[in-house]
Amino acid sequence: MNSSPILPEKRTPLGKHKPVSRRSMLLGSAGAIGAAWLATGLTGCSAVAAGGVVPLSFWHLLTGGDGIRMSGLVDRANSENPDFKATQTVLTWGAPYYTKLAMASAGGRAPEVAIMHASRVPGYAPGGLLDPWDLDMLAKNDVTEADFPQLVWDKGFSDKKLYSVALDIHPFILIYNKDIAKKAGVLGSDGKLPPMSSPEEFIAVARAMQLATGVHGLSYGYLNDGSQLWRLWYTLYLQHGATMELPPGGTVKMNTDAAISAFDFMRKLLDDKIATSRGDYATAVAEFVAGRSGMFLTGVWELPTVQSACMNVGAMAIPTLFGTPAAYADSHSFVLPHQNDPDKTKRADSYRFVADILKNSFDWAKAGHVPAYLPVTENPAYRSLKPQADYVEITKIVNYDPAAWFSGSGSDFQNIFGQNLQGVLLSGADPAAGIRGFVQQINTLLSKPSPV
């Protein structure tokens, strides 16, 4: 893998490290790196530190391999901008992080900058927990609408104001073992899997992979993991050309026929031959890394895990099997937590800090994520980054969670989906009944006002 930087004159090597499984990150605490940063506390320092350096407080929820890479980007931004110093505070992924961020914004103890999943912004911006970005100030730092995929840029808006600036797009994809694919006779001369445009074609490739491994053709873990179940199902549902809307005060709008069809296909995959019918996430990771399957349905964040195992892998968007190109995704995005009276110098330096990380996000791509800043992905150097360059075009077909104050990564929305639909895959239950249970619970949430 070519590690040539986009901006070579600014590059500071981060050194080598072993990537850490994203799932391990989610199941653990902030860890050693997070513990060190947590010691900085949850508030900023004085307006100007010793020597005239302006301190910036930066909160995020990135640990493991992502945390290491983010640390490198922050160190680089600090070294290139000696008049400010950003200090990281790392909090536990999910509800703990978002609860503390909301409390800090409401209580006047907010950091200057924070990372938030783009799918969570609809629950925070309308309640006044975030300050909007100033488009002119962004432009002065070479960050404009033209520098982002349109649908990713648009996702940052609420009530015609920009509240989040995406660092990346991290979609749900298909990773495959090229050596097993070659043994199965399904690897093309270009080193990629063949085009698959129907459920039958995908199943045929998966069965060929199963014959080559003697175990399974595909790894996919979903047990007790509503997020994993949602990510694949939502991708397949959207590929039917279906949509889902969660209107405040209304009821869920969705296509029940498409929802059932997506589940029917998932059940065909989980037949204990193509894939195990009762797999959890950790088992799926271990199975694929051990060469006991040829394909792996997962998020891009797991790419460093399989690469660290010295596997010869390719990656691609999940094939369009039902007519409409679509992929589930989310974005790590920069936000400005609300401050009643923001310091002008700190606010200006926050823009410079974010712009610097965006411009140097080539290193972030090594974590599997697709940088949202187009000057990075459109630079010729990005084409040598494999297999990331093979799925960079997925940014044109990504879809975030349907917007609601209670939806998004790390929320209860995906857990509610899993609680109602996991039984459909485990026991062959009627998917229509599971969907009705999910819709009923979501309708109850829609009838309630946002708590913020």
Superfamily for the 172-328+411-446 domain: Periplasmic binding protein-like II (3.40.190.10)
Give the pLDDT band (50/70/90) at residue 352: very high
| Residue 234 burial by Cβ neighbours in a 10 Å radius (0-12, 13-18, 19+) | buried
Parallel, antiparallel or unpaired: strands 161-162 and 130-131: unpaired
Quick check: 391 and 316 in contact, CB under 8 A?
A: yes
The β-bridge partners of 253 are 245
Percent of the chain with pLDDT over 90: 83
What pTM did the predictor assign?
Answer: 0.87
pLDDT one-digit tens code per residue, 22-36 = 434 333 333 333 333
Q: What are phi and psi of 50, to 5 degrees?
A: -55, 140
Q: What is the pLDDT of residue 441?
A: 98
Parallel, antiparallel or unpaired: strands 218-219 and 295-299: parallel
Rounded Cα distance, 155 and 403, in Å:
10
Q: What is the pLDDT of residue 5?
A: 35
Query: How big is the chain by its Cα radius of gyration, in Å?
Result: 22
pLDDT one-digit tens code per residue, 358-407 = 999 999 999 999 999 999 999 999 999 999 999 999 999 999 999 999 99
The residues near 433 (Cβ < 8 Å, ≥ 6 apart) are none
Collect contacts of 213-216 with beta carbons under 8 A, ≥24 apart.
213/180, 213/291, 213/292, 213/293, 213/294, 215/287, 215/292, 215/293, 216/273, 216/274, 216/275, 216/276, 216/287, 216/292, 216/293
- Tell the residue number behind the tokens 């949602």, with chain if given: 230
Q: What's the chain's average pLDDT?
A: 89
Matching CATH topology for 8-167+331-399 and 172-328+411-446? yes
Domain ranges of the chain: 8-167+331-399, 172-328+411-446
Identify the three-state secondary structure at position 166: strand
Rounded Cα distance, 397 and 229, in Å:
20
pLDDT one-digit tens code per residue, 130-141 = 999 999 999 999
For 275, other C-beta atoms within 10 Å of its C-beta total: 27
Rounded Cα distance, 234 and 273, in Å:
23
Give the pLDDT band (50/70/90) at residue 451: confident
pLDDT one-digit tens code per residue, 90-117 = 998 888 899 999 999 988 889 999 999 9
- Tell the residue number behind the tokens 């407080």, with chain if given: 57
For residue 258, give the H/E element and its range.
Answer: helix 256-269
Quick check: 25 and 63 in contact, CB under 8 A?
A: yes
Nearest to 408 by CA among 80, 158, 190, 111: 158
Quick check: 368 and 175 in contact, CB under 8 A?
A: no
Per-residue DSSP letter, 407: -
Instruction: Give the pLDDT mean for 196-211.
Output: 98
Q: What are phi and psi of 228, to 5 degrees?
A: -65, -40
Quick check: 162 and 121 in contact, CB under 8 A?
A: no
Architecture of the domain whose range is 8-167+331-399: 3-Layer(aba) Sandwich (3.40)
Quick check: 210 and 217 in contact, CB under 8 A?
A: yes
For 368, other C-beta atoms within 10 Å of its C-beta total: 29
Rounded Cα distance, 377 and 381, in Å:
8
pLDDT one-digit tens code per residue, 43-56 = 334 455 556 899 99
Rounded Cα distance, 307 and 360, in Å:
22
Instruction: Give the pLDDT mean for 230-252.
Output: 98
- Tell the residue number behind the tokens 């999940």, with chain if given: 318
Total length of the chain: 452
Identify the three-state secondary structure at position 334: strand
